[in-house]
Amino acid sequence: MEFVDIDGNIIVPKAVRPIVDLKETFLGGKKGARRQYRYGTVHMDKVDPLKNPLGHLLVDAPEYLAGAAAAVIVGRRVVAAVYSRRKKEGKSTRDAAIDAAVAGYVAGSSAGNIIFNAASSMKKVGK
């Protein structure tokens, strides 16, 4: 049995898992796994996300930071543009805000996803 996958992740056999005190984590990408655990010898980050989340994003997971930044920037611009356009068209404040929120959410989510995937691909190429 191979204990390292194609991405360089260490696979811990089921027989060993009860011996090691592993804590399940929801941080990071699971890469197809059902659960993800954190333990110093199994997965080593340069910056511990539990102690320094921002440092972890900057050093170990910049693709998440890039995706979130793109989502916020694009989402805010689309919200502002759609809201002002709808108000000029004579829509009520409520209707203009709803239209703007939906458009901003869709555009921001799409932009964030595109940038995240691009940054992830670039990160893999750099390995």
pLDDT at 40 over 60: no
CA angle 56/58/63 to nearest 5° reads 100
Host domain of residue 20: 1-44
Mean pLDDT, rounded, for 116-120:
91
Residues 33 and 2 in one domain: yes
List pLDDT tens digits, range 100-114: 999 999 999 999 999
pLDDT at 31 over 70: no
Decide: pTM greater than 0.75.
Answer: no
Structural domains of the chain, count: 2
Residues 98 and 118 in one domain: yes
For residue 42, name the pLDDT band (cuts at 50, 70, 90). low
Residues 58 and 106 in one domain: yes
CA distances from 92 to 6, 81, 97 (A): 54, 15, 8
Residues 14 and 59 in one domain: no
